[in-house]
Amino acid sequence: MFKLFRPVLYVCGILACVMAGLLLIPALYSWWVNDNELEAFFLASACVAVCGILMLAPGYTAPFSLNARQLYLLTSLSWLQLSFYSALPLVLVDHPLSFSDAVFEAVSGITTTGSTVLSQLNTLPPSILLWRSMLQWIGGFGVIGMAVSILPFLRVGGMRLFQTESSDWSDKSLPQFHDMARGLMAVYLGMTTLCALAYWLAGMNGFDAINHAMTTVSTGGYATDDSSMGRFNYGILWISTVFMLLGGMPFTLFIRFLTTRRLDMLKDQQVTAFLTIVLFLVAILTLQQVLAGNSDVLGVLTHTAFNIVSVITTTGFASQDYTQWGMFAVAMFFFVTFMGGCSGSTSGGMKIFRFQLSWLFLRDQMNKLVHPRGMFTVRYNGKAVSDDIMGSAVAFSFLFFLVLTFTTLALALTGLDFVTAFTGAATALANVGPGLGDMIGPAGNFAAVPESGKWILCFAMILGRLELLTVMVLLTPVFWKG
């Protein structure tokens, strides 16, 4: 058993030391603005560094390679440990959160969900607001890195559809895996910088621009004020809409375009479907609002596009309380909650490609009913879809709704009403942020959820962020018997 855990703990130790270094950034900012939180962040950094050193102490000198079982462990344990490390400063600050609230806020941040238990954000120390935004930015990069490197190997993620396994990069886009990682970081950092600059030029102050850029590109949704993005002008809302859309697309496509300088590298069946769905939903809801009597067409279009994109990319920003737009809008936002963006992006949800595969699978079955002896091949992006990819998509969809059912029941046992329990479970598994209802809707937060409910939601957020199967396989006897 130690042989199984030793290399995993070694990598976790490295990640802990990196996190300890990152905690020094808000510590330095706290010292710069003198908001009295320097000690909390410095102490948290020291504690995390000690944990990292203890995990590194046994060492690991053998050629470094991890098998599938170790990758499953590493993926789950790394996100779990980073969630607890991230919660430390929130417990140690001058106005500390309870342990449950701190873990909930940290898990929501690192998984880029965006649900929060905090209110009166504009009165919080700036270093805490910066740390929340950094958590989502770190989590967003971790998501795309995991999507294109680990999950394809584990036959979980959808990136295997798009030929972005590490073996494929050697002769198609970039020569080595390290180049791919550097490419991802360059695109992610560059996009964040452009977003911050655009926000600043459109009227945000520097602090808000940096924080909102990190939480926009990561499709996380943490804001620096309780009104979220509702306090900003239309220009800022459109900038946010564009960068949320970019954050919801496969980052590997951007790398391929920058590498080859060919526009055809941006062509992708998943992206086409994603943008088509967004345009259709925005048009339908805008038309419905105008026909309902709202004469401010530009305002309706702006808020509709912003909030639709925010929910479908699982960002969770809000410019208005869209639950007040009528039951048609509420129903639409509810179903959009499950969709998510593209595989290989920072967004959560079930991902567009799984809906596409389900449709292709359904069409294939219909063809076979009409022509029982016919030979049909399901093709995606011009390539035949293998049975294991199709099986993985079906397994994920079944598991998603099974876990949604049990999570809803568990939340209902804590005393929450059905709407809050159901939409809370859905928004946690899909990593969206706001649910529906007065308590956890876009105008509320999760502070009133019972402590037991917050722990259930934490588990659901991690499950959703890691594509369910990555964590669930650890709970099976066959994994530990191998």
Planar angle of CA 381, 334, 115, nearest 5 degrees: 95
Contacts of 436 (CB under 8 A, 6+ apart): 323, 330, 333, 334, 419, 420, 423
Burial (CB count <10 Å: 0-12, 13-18, 19+), residue 268: buried
Report yes or no on 261 lying in a domain.
no
Report yes or no on 32 lying in a domain.
yes
| Cα(170)–Cα(174) distance, integer angstroms | 6
Report yes or no on 208 lying in a domain.
no
Report yes or no on 35 lying in a domain.
yes
Report yes or no on 54 lying in a domain.
yes
Q: Mean pLDDT lowest for which of 30-34, 47-51, 58-62, 324-328? A: 58-62
Q: What total number of domains does the chain contain?
A: 1
| Cα(304)–Cα(310) distance, integer angstroms | 10
Domain that holds residue 57: 1-96
Q: Which two tokens stand for residue 230?
A: 């509702």
Question: CB-side exposure of 229: number of CA atoms within 13 Å?
Answer: 30
pTM of this structure: 0.86
Longest distance between any two alpha carbons in the chain, whole Å: 75
Cβ atoms < 10 Å from Cβ of 383: 12
Report yes or no on 88 lying in a domain.
yes
pLDDT digits (tens, 9 = 90+) for 274-299: 999 999 999 999 999 998 888 789 99
pLDDT digits (tens, 9 = 90+) for 85-113: 999 999 998 877 889 999 999 999 999 89
Assign 247 a pLDDT band (cuts: 50, 70, 90).
very high
Assign 264 a pLDDT band (cuts: 50, 70, 90).
low
| Cα(317)–Cα(277) distance, integer angstroms | 19
pLDDT for residue 41 = 94
Report yes or no on 13 lying in a domain.
yes
Report yes or no on 380 lying in a domain.
no
